[in-house]
Structures are given as structure tokens and as C-alpha cells.
Amino acid sequence: MNKPTEMTALKKFRACAAHFGILCAALLLSACATTVSETRRSQIMEQNPELKPARTWCIGRFLIDMPPAAKLYLRTETSLSAPTRVISGEYGGLWKYGDATIEMPVEKMSLKVFEQKMAVRQDELRKAKHTKGNGRLLKTEHPQQDTYLLVTWEKSTSKALQLVEGYRWSDGSVFFVKLKINAYKPEPGIKRMLGLLSKTRARAANEIPEEEGFCFPGGFLAEKPTDDERAQFAFVFDDRPDLSLSVHFLHYPEVEKPLLSRRAGVFGLLGSAAMRIRTLRSGDRSLAGFQGQELLMTAPYGAAHGNPSGERAHVFLWEYPGDAAWKPFIKLELETEPPVSLTDEQMMALWDAILDSFQIRPIQ
């Protein structure tokens, strides 16, 4: 079984912007829509049981079902031992609650090791030089055994910006949260960080919390919704390295026009490659009460970069533009790259099964 490489997965995760050119151009072409009936979808799932969504994932404030081989892929990370190092692993993406960033991956260690690493981290910051002549560590708060808060200069030359590094140990997991604060008024930021850490806890991969809060890989933040929450991440598949699903939740509009209205100027940029794009299905589609739009198509691989190969790939997209603080911009994108392991019909069956499972997580 081939495993997806780091470069392949990261390339898939970042491919969204490049694909927008293809997506918009496809809207200019006339094509017959392809549908997969419920009966046919059931047949496909029976014939390919590995495609059937079997595990529910809690992501942000939503739930989505994915096939058994799906896993979250690591993007860019920090860690206690090397805060700027990229680490290979299962978990990743971008997770933000307001102005606080929850760093990935969540590391596993004993409380004793956690305390040792905190001592090392403080020593590193004391030794890191700042232009004022002292180290970058300004203050340490250790309100309880499982919680550390380190106030530092953001950079070696910073004058007005400080950084709060918050660390919380919970049931063998360590959570690392970062928050930029005003150097002239640091107290509100410090208080906010202590509050966030006190409400952060470990969460098993299959746990679906019943209380209000924000799910992220390996953990849960028991806080009410804010008007600035972000989750951007990707699923990859152990059994199908050509396949990936990227998911975006942003509490501000990323685009000014709905998906099916964005087309100006792109067709000419793609040139003759645009004529080889085939739209399988497009139109309005409601998910969990969000009135969005979908666009499903196949295209010559590399068309977005002006260098299409003879092999075709899939780009399936659903998007909700967002219209209020509690209704964020949402984007789901399922795509393949050659050699493609699924037929158009199988891709559509998988897409429909995943999207039909998408819902707001119910709370007690």
C-alpha cells in the first residue's frame, strides 16, 4: 500500500487557489450534468465498502463522516522541543479561536516530562537575545502544575508586540496556544490566555462532545462561538494517495461573489486547456441549512498552471460564502491527481455521501 508523501499531501492542501482558475472557466462551458441516483450510490458503496463513510469527525463546531482510511494530514507545525520545526505526523492544519492560535501537533507526554520541557523552554527564551539587552522571556506564570504561561517579546527586535505562549497538560496531551498582545497593556491578553487554557482539555479521536465548544485534533476548547474562528485542514487517504479533501471554515468572507458567479477574465488565461474541462454537475446545494453551491468537474491535470497533461483529474467543490458571525465561510474540496483510482461515478458517490453527513454538532 502506497503512503502519501509529505510533499504530495501538502501540494494537495495548497492546491485550492490554483484550481480556482479551472473552476471558474468550467462555468463558461456547456455540459450535460451527470447524476448518481440513490440506488446507484448504494450499489457503488456495496461494491466499494472502503469508500463508505464510517467514522464521524468533530471539526470546529461541525461533524462530518469520512471513510475508514481517511486521516488528518499535518501541515506546518511547532513543538515544545523545536518551535519552528516541521514535524511529520497525523494531525495538522490551521486552528484559531479568535486571536489565539492552537498549534499542531498535540504532543503526548507524561506530566513529569512536560515540566522538564517547560524548564528547557524557559531557559531557551532567557538566553534568546533581545535588542534591549536582556533575554526574550519577560514573565512566567505557573498557576497550577499542568499550566504554564510564558510572556515573551515576539521577535528579537520587537518593541510594541509581545507573545504569550500558553501550555496546558491534560490526560497525557500537551496543548500549545499562542496569542499576540500589546506590550504596553499586556494584562488583558494574559488573563485571556489563562481563561482559554483552563477550558482546554484532551479529546479522544472518536469523542463527540455534547457541550458547547470548538473541536480541534486531539482536543476540545469549551468556549462559546466567537466572530473569528478558523479551521483549515486536509484529509488524506491511506488506501488512495491520489485523493484528498480540504476543508475551510472562516468567520469572514473569503470571496465577494458566490462560487458560480466567479468567472471574469479566467477563461482567456487558460486558453485552449479550458476547452478540455468537463462539468459533471453544478448548481445550488444546501448542507445543514447553509445555502451553498457546488461544482463538480474533471480537467486535464495541470490545466490551472497552463501545462495540462493527457491524464484527467477531479475537482469537486462546495462553497457557502458566509453572511454572519455564526454562519462562516465554508468550503469543501475533494480532488484527485493522476493516476486516479476512482471513476467519475465513484467520485460522485463518495462526494455525495460525505456532504450528506455534514452537520452542525448538536449540543445539550
Distance, in Å, from the CA atom of 97 to the CA atom of 34, rounded to the nearest integer, reads 39
Highest mean pLDDT, choosing among 91-95, 96-100, 147-151, 321-325? 147-151
Query: Residues 255-270: pLDDT tens digits?
Result: 777 888 875 444 444 5
The pLDDT assigned to 109 comes to 96
Pick from 21-30, 96-105, 217-226: least confident: 21-30
Q: Which residues contact 224 (CB under 8 A, 6 or more apart)?
A: 212
The region of weakest confidence among 68-82, 118-132, 216-230, 343-357 is: 68-82
- Which contiguous run of DSSP H or E holds residue 196? helix 187-198
pLDDT tens digit sequence for 299-350: 888 765 555 667 889 999 999 988 765 678 999 999 999 999 999 999 999 9
Which has more pLDDT, 118 or 37?
118
Q: What confidence tier does 83 reach under pLDDT thresholds 50, 70, 90?
A: very low
Tell me, what's the pLDDT at 34?
64
Residue 67 DSSP label: -
Read off the C-alpha cell for 247. 476543508
CA distance 361 to 12: 27
pLDDT exceeds cutoff 50 at 169? yes
DSSP tag of 92: -
Check if the beta carbon of residue 235 is closer than 8 Å to that of residue 243. no
Domains present along the chain, CATH in parentheses: 6-69+238-360 (3.40.1000), 95-203 (no CATH)
Cβ-in-10-Å burial (0-12, 13-18, 19+) of 76 comes to middle
- Quick check: 22 and 323 in contact, CB under 8 A? no
Q: Out of 90-94, 186-190, 240-244, which region has the weakest mean confidence (pLDDT)?
A: 90-94
Lowest-confidence pick of 4-18, 59-73, 134-148, 228-242: 4-18
Q: What is the predicted pLDDT for the residue at 325?
A: 57
pLDDT band of residue 7 (cuts 50, 70, 90) is very low
Range in 76-80, 93-97, 145-149, 164-168 the model is least confident about: 76-80
For residues 302 and 315, give the distance between their C-alpha atoms in angstroms, rounded to a whole number: 12
Can you give the pLDDT at residue 84?
Answer: 32
Tell me which of 83 and 251 has the higher pLDDT.
Answer: 251
Spatial contact of 314 and 20, defined as CB atoms under 8 Å apart: no
Residue 126 CA to residue 223 CA, distance in Å, equals 33
The predicted model scores a pTM of 0.83
pLDDT above 90 (res 37): no
Helix axes 38-47, 344-357, angle to 10 degrees: 100
pLDDT band at 94 (very low <50, low <70, confident <90, very high): confident
Q: Which residues contact 325 (CB under 8 A, 6 or more apart)?
A: 225, 226, 227, 251
